[in-house]
Amino acid sequence: MLEFFSKGGICMWPILLCSVISLAIFIERLIRIGRMRKRGQRLEYKVIEKLNSRDDQGAVVIAGQSDSPIGRVLAKALEVKDQDRETVETVIVHATDEEVQGLSRYLQALATMGNIVPMLGLLGTVIGMIKAFMVIQEMGGKVNSSVLAGGIWEAMLTTAFGLSVALPIVVAHSYLLSMVNGYEARIQQGSVVFLKTISSLRNKA
């Protein structure tokens, strides 16, 4: 394996570096998002229960102590719950965007690496082909099929390595993005329930 790697040329090293960084990002985001998904479960209903019992301070405490994205969104919404609905919705939208950006951190870098790794592989192949044809030119009319084939397969190594690294990166990015989208949908669902409760309490007042 090391022999194949060494024959692939200089572009193998940046591809390897991208694979290590991508793996680190995937593991870090997977753990962080996974932890966030476990926190704040059914939190909106606990907050609503407090609001229905006219315990606004208790609702603020529950939302603030949850240490979850949905908890932080609801905490900010509770600060302006007595204002008009448009203001509350605006606060919720901005707070949700902030939380989604936090969960999506480094995902753009992961997507970028998934895009550049195949190009690095192609670049390595082009460089390898240039070197192979330079050798062929130096050999003049003494070129044989084994020399030509050897130069080509060594040049193709970087493309193969780049694609084998890029495919898992693309899959990892799509998986993490689906987790973020799922959590965003959960925040939005909890926010809708919260807004309905606020409207109902105002109508009763």
Contact between 179 and 131 under an 8 Å Cβ cutoff? The reply is no
In total, how many domains does the chain have? 1
pLDDT in tens, the chain (205 residues): 676 677 777 888 999 999 999 999 999 999 988 887 777 778 888 888 888 888 889 988 998 888 888 999 999 999 998 888 899 999 999 999 999 999 999 999 999 999 999 999 999 888 888 877 777 777 766 666 666 666 777 778 889 999 999 999 999 999 999 999 999 998 999 999 889 888 887 777 5
Token couple for 150:
């050897």
The whole-angstrom separation of Cα 104 and Cα 119 is 25
Token couple for 153:
């397969």
User: Residue 146: which domain range?
Assistant: 2-204
> Which residue is it, tokens 């606020």?
198
Contact between 190 and 44 under an 8 Å Cβ cutoff? The reply is yes
Nearest Cα residue to 18 out of 102, 113, 98: 113
Backbone angles phi, psi at 108, to 5 degrees: -65, -40
